[in-house]
Structure 1
């Protein structure tokens, strides 16, 4: 993921990071807010929360922090940006592959296979996120009390296939990649057309100067 973002940055592209879109707030079923690692490390009253790295990175695995022992191995500065969330107990989770506003497939990735999600929640969430990328993963989970909630959102380029059929996977990733790099190639096309235009202008100008020299000037 970080390598892809670095490549996009080299191309002059600033791709947004999608974790918890504000448009889906009503589907989270818990309070989620942006903070820094120091808020958890230094304030025991904040323990008992789930944390994960912000800014689209996977520098550490998301976890519930109940004490300092849960912070072992993170090794990041206190001002490192993170997401802080109330804890919800999911008994099963699925990844919904969404392409151009419709669900390609829903694949289970953890939990009790007996659990069943409410498909209407998926439809409503997709409908509410108006400015979503063309391809993304909508992760949902069922809680112990039977609620279907949005776990998080992941950008399409960063996803494995989780059993998605090869053809669907190709179409999914190709669509998102084309969407991300489109501004770059439009810019290159514009610059190329301008170079061709300037080249033609220079050619005409050189022909004119040559003609003037042959005629002995004006």
Structure 2
């Protein structure tokens, strides 16, 4: 059974259609009654982390997510920029432009901030100890989203050029061979550092002085809370199912990537 949040999105609708075509049932999470009715069922999840955290324990869900430090620990040859995992309180002290994002959940917008004083303070889900990734400001000329299962690219999509939405299926993009070559080099050189089902975004950084471009990792994400853009839904679905399914079926190698449950 595929359980989804009530929030409408194009990706959700495409995944639901793919799930139904594959023989899965679909249920929309509408409240406590929905959770009670699914007790004891083997369920998978697609939706936001807030809703997932409320129901994961009761539904026996095992939610996979990349480690917060994964991006910061990559060699600069893969990132093309300096990246640090720190806390929001440390980032508040910054006095120069920086790109700041939460490593997993979207507690506040990932964006370029003029300095630390522009970062959010307070709120229900953020505080001084909230982990954040801080990097120098770069320009991505083009960005791609890759759905990865067992270290192999299942499907993907271009999603942006120079920070603006520009969507095309990976299989229809002339850069597909270069995208795959870079991602495969990354995955083969860092085995076991991401869950067996994960989303990895890559792109080309443009040098502001010379205009030269180089491939780099943008970030890693949770498939169960990722837009598919123009990726093939029937190939996205197995990645989502593996990343958010029955906790007692989680592969041993993925146990360290399990999201804590309330």
5+ residue gaps, structure 2: 1-47, 167-172, 207-211, 252-262
Q: Over alpha carbons, which structure has the higher Rg? A: 1
Shift of 1:68: 6.2
5+ residue gaps, structure 1: 185-218
Partner SS for 1:147: strand
Match of 1:87 among 137, 140, 143: 137
Match of residue 105 from structure 2: 57
Structure in which a larger fraction of residues adopt strand: 2
Hey, what's the Cα distance between the residues in 2 that align with 1:162 and 1:149?
Answer: 20
Q: For residues 1-218 of structure 1, what are the structure 2 equivalents within 5 Å? A: 1-2=48-49, 3-9=51-57, 11=60, 15-19=64-68, 21=70, 24-25=74-75, 26-44=77-95, 47-54=96-103, 56-67=104-115, 70-71=118-119, 75=123, 76-111=126-161, 116=175, 118-119=178-179, 120-131=181-192, 132-144=194-206, 145-178=212-245, 180-183=247-250
Note if contact 1:15-1:180 (Cα within 8 Å) is conserved in structure 2.
no
Q: Deviations over 1:150-170 (max 9, x none)?
A: 000112222222122232122
Hey, what's the Cα distance between the residues in 2 that align with 1:73 and 1:115?
Answer: 43
Query: RMSD of the TM alignment (CA)?
Result: 3.1
TM-score by length of structure 2 reads 0.58
The size of the alignment, in residue pairs, is: 181
Hey, what's the Cα distance between the residues in 2 that align with 1:122 and 1:70?
Answer: 34
Q: Greater relative contact order: 1 or 2 (C-alpha under 8 angstroms, separation 6 or more)?
A: 2
TM-score by length of structure 1 reads 0.69
Note if contact 1:18-1:155 (Cα within 8 Å) is conserved in structure 2.
no
